[in-house]
Structure formats: structure tokens, C-alpha cells
Amino acid sequence: MPTIRIAIPADRDAILRLTERLGDFPVPPWRTATEIARADHPILLAALREPGAGHLLLVAEAEGRLLGFLFAAERADYFTGERVAHVEDLALDPGAEGKGLARGLMEAAERWARERGCRRVTLNVWAQNERAIGLYRRLGYQPETVHYLKELAP
């Protein structure tokens, strides 16, 4: 039976390895899976070094093996300034998909948000990441904004 718990420094290598899953979808041609995977390494490492009230780093494990992680942080809503919980990262080992771990991690993040007085949980998802979009829709999340990008010729 998998367990969800707060991450500890000993989880570092497994968490960083799982960030490879953050770019495991058809990435846009102007991005690489590697840059997506490594972009949040600094905030994840900081969360491991300095656990704090303003962020949450959870892991899911079974039989001593780390199967997934979720990182969330408090942010101010752009429009209202209200404090919200923002899910920065959610990644699972491919063999752990479809077993309810992502749902469990998200529910734990939602409990954390409620305990902190947040009325909302936000997140960003790549438009091409249909697997993640399906999960978030099943959990009741709705799209709010769409981020556009245009490559400019040099």
C-alpha cells in the first residue's frame, strides 16, 4: 500500500530523477524535455533544504521505493491578491500510473491548502499534455487562461 508523506533530503535523487517525467509528452518544438525536466530543480532542492510553511513537497512511496512527488507553493492570485495554493509539479513513475497516486497527492495538496486558509488551488499544464489534462479534469479542475508564445526570427 503506497504511503504519501513529506519529502526528506534522502529523497533528493529520486525526486530529481522523476522530474524527467515532467517533459514526457509531445513537447512543443521550441522546448526540450530536458529543459522542462530541469527547470524546477532549484525550487525542489530549496524545498528539501528548507522545509517551510509556504510550500509543500510530498512523495508517494511503496516498499521503500519513491513512486511520485508533488510540489506546491503559496502564491498571490494575480487578480485579487488572495492567497492560493499552486501546484508547481506532479510526477509519477510510469509504472505507478493508474493506481490513484496522482489523485492521492492532489488530495493531500488540497488538504494542505485548506489548512492554510486557501480557497483555491491553481496549476499550469502544457496544452499537449493530454494525460495530465485528463487527470485534472477528473479531479474537478477547470481551464482558466491560455498562455500563448510566438517564436521571433532573429
65-108 per-position pLDDT tens digit: 999 999 999 999 999 999 999 999 999 999 999 999 999 999 99
pLDDT > 90? residue 125:
yes
3-state secondary structure of 114: helix
In the block, which residue shows the cell 518544438? 29
- Report whether pLDDT(114) > 90: yes
Q: Could you tell me the residue ranges of all domains in the chain?
A: 3-138
Has residue 27 got a pLDDT over 90?
yes
- Report the relative pairing of strands 65-76 and 83-92 from DSSP bridges: antiparallel
**Residue 20 pLDDT exceeds 90:** yes
Mean pLDDT of 123-144: 96
Q: How confident is the model at residue 1, as a pLDDT? A: 79
> CATH fold of 3-138, please?
Aminopeptidase (3.40.630)
Dihedral sign for Cα 105, 107, 108, 113, please: positive
Is the Cα dihedral 46, 47, 51, 55 positive or negative? Answer: positive
Query: Does residue 58 register a pLDDT over 90?
Result: yes
Cα radius of gyration rounded to whole Å, the chain = 16
3-state secondary structure of 96: helix
What is the per-residue DSSP string for 5-53? EE--GGGHHHHHHHGGGGG-S---TTS-HHHHHHHTHHHHHHHHHS--T
Q: What is the pLDDT of residue 3?
A: 95
Would strands 55-62 and 65-76 be described as parallel, antiparallel, or unpaired?
antiparallel
Query: Where does the pLDDT of residue 60 fall: very low under 50, low under 70, confident under 90, or very high at 90 and above?
Result: very high
Residue 45 predicted with pLDDT over 80: yes
pTM, to two decimals:
0.94
